[in-house]
Structure 1
Amino acid sequence: MSLTAGQASLRVHVWRKLRSLGSVYLQSSVCLLPDRPDTMRAVRRLLDRVHGDGGSGRLLRINLPDEDEAQDIREEFNSARDGEYAEVLERLPTLAQEITMERGRGRATYAEVEESEADLARFHTWLGKIARRDYFAAPGGEAARAAVAAVGEQLAAFEEEALNAEAPPGRPLRAVPHQRTRRTADG
């Protein structure tokens, strides 16, 4: 895509959108994305906006008949996603440590649980965004999902402690396991 110097905000928008789609750059202003309906629809919309704002760009479909070259490109996509999954794994221990610290301090309260739930929800959202651009099932995804699930289990135990700490005497409560719900086409 080509934009004039006066279109800096559009340039940033294009860059962010292509990044959010999981593009791999071959060189400046030339990137690759898999030919998938949702991805191509997003690229067409982006091109419409660029053209509407006076810029230029093209959507070209390529075929990679050399399987080694195709595999190299899939590995580039996976490497990019693995980097993102690694960042999740790098930041997740902070939440786990915070839960452990609050438990150790005896601060099992609903407010602390609610704060940790919000943090865990952000990790689920982040993981979901990465998964949407993980076109070739990068190996790091499994470890990241397992680590987020493990912190979810840790949070469920913390929530149980908080419920019991705040429950009326003689009436312990049970926490509901933390699971990310998936919406189906029906609901």
Structure 2
Amino acid sequence: MEEPFLLISVSTAGGPAGLRVTVWRTLRALGGLYLQQSVCLLPARDEVARPVHRLLAQVRAKGGTGQAITITVPDPRERAELVARFNAEREAEYAEVLERTPALLEEIATETARGRVTYAEVEESEADLDRFRSWMAKIVARDYFGASGHAAAQAGIERCAAALAEFEAAAVAAS
């Protein structure tokens, strides 16, 4: 039997203004696939169900309504379409990481060419690399179906890490 999904429906009517944003951010961070406004789908896994149920309790406590229903999608074609939509969203995220890594490589190359191989520049580039790694970890956590862009995005981050290691070695040698 195929893995079930959670069908999540939330209404924040009657709740505080910020509740809608909280719901949207939480479900997007989990990788929710929106089928229509206020209705999304997520794999019915423990690591997903727990935060969804906490969110629904928060919504209800603040005057909204919501439910999570476990469903199966028996039609293989429909299920494949849903998985493809989940993967397309992750592919777009991985592509954005990969699209942004050249800027860090260029920054390191520019600072090296200018002779500004300093601890401050290393620290700044390290913070950028840490942001990439953190962003990547969030994408991987919601990549439930193994989108193919993961390897390329990870390789882009690793290129940045290697360039930063060389830059740092040059900064140590220069000091």
TM-score, length basis structure 1: 0.86
Partner of 1:79: 88
2-structure distance, mates of 1:41, 1:76: 23
Q: Percent of counterpart pairs with the same letter?
A: 52
Cα deviation per residue 1:108-143 (whole Å; 9 max; x = unaligned)?
Answer: 111111111111001000000111101111111110
1:99 lines up with 2:111 in the alignment:
no
Q: Return the letter of the residue paired with 1:93.
A: P
Which of 8, 11, 18 does residue 27 from structure 2 map onto? 18
8 Å contact from structure 2 (residues 34, 40) kept in 1:
yes
2:91 partner SS: helix
Partner of 2:133: 124
Give RMSD over aligned pairs: 1.0
Q: Return the letter of the residue paired with 2:27.
A: L
Which of 22, 43, 46 does residue 37 from structure 1 map onto? 46
Partner of 2:7: none
2-structure distance, mates of 1:70, 1:132: 21
Partner of 2:57: 48
Q: Return the letter of the residue paired with 2:124.
A: E
Q: CA deviation at 1:165?
A: 0.8
1:156 partner SS: helix
2-structure distance, mates of 1:5, 1:59: 19
Partner of 2:72: 63
Q: CA deviation at 1:147?
A: 0.4
Q: CA deviation at 1:6?
A: 5.4
1:136 lines up with 2:130 in the alignment:
no
- In structure 1, stretches of 5+ residues that fail to align are 167-187
Partner of 1:160: 169
1-structure distance, mates of 2:137, 2:41: 21
Q: Which has the higher contact order (CA 8 A, sep 6+)?
A: 2
Q: CA deviation at 1:22?
A: 0.3
Q: Return the letter of the residue paired with 1:151.
A: C
TM-score, length basis structure 2: 0.92
1:54 partner SS: coil
Q: Return the letter of the residue paired with 1:119.
A: D
2-structure distance, mates of 1:92, 1:164: 26
Cα deviation per residue 1:72-127 (whole Å; 9 max; x = unaligned)?
Answer: 11110110011111111121111110000011111111111111111100100000
2-structure distance, mates of 1:5, 1:35: 28
1:25 partner SS: strand
1:59 partner SS: strand
8 Å contact from structure 2 (residues 15, 62) kept in 1:
no
Which has a greater percent of strand? 2
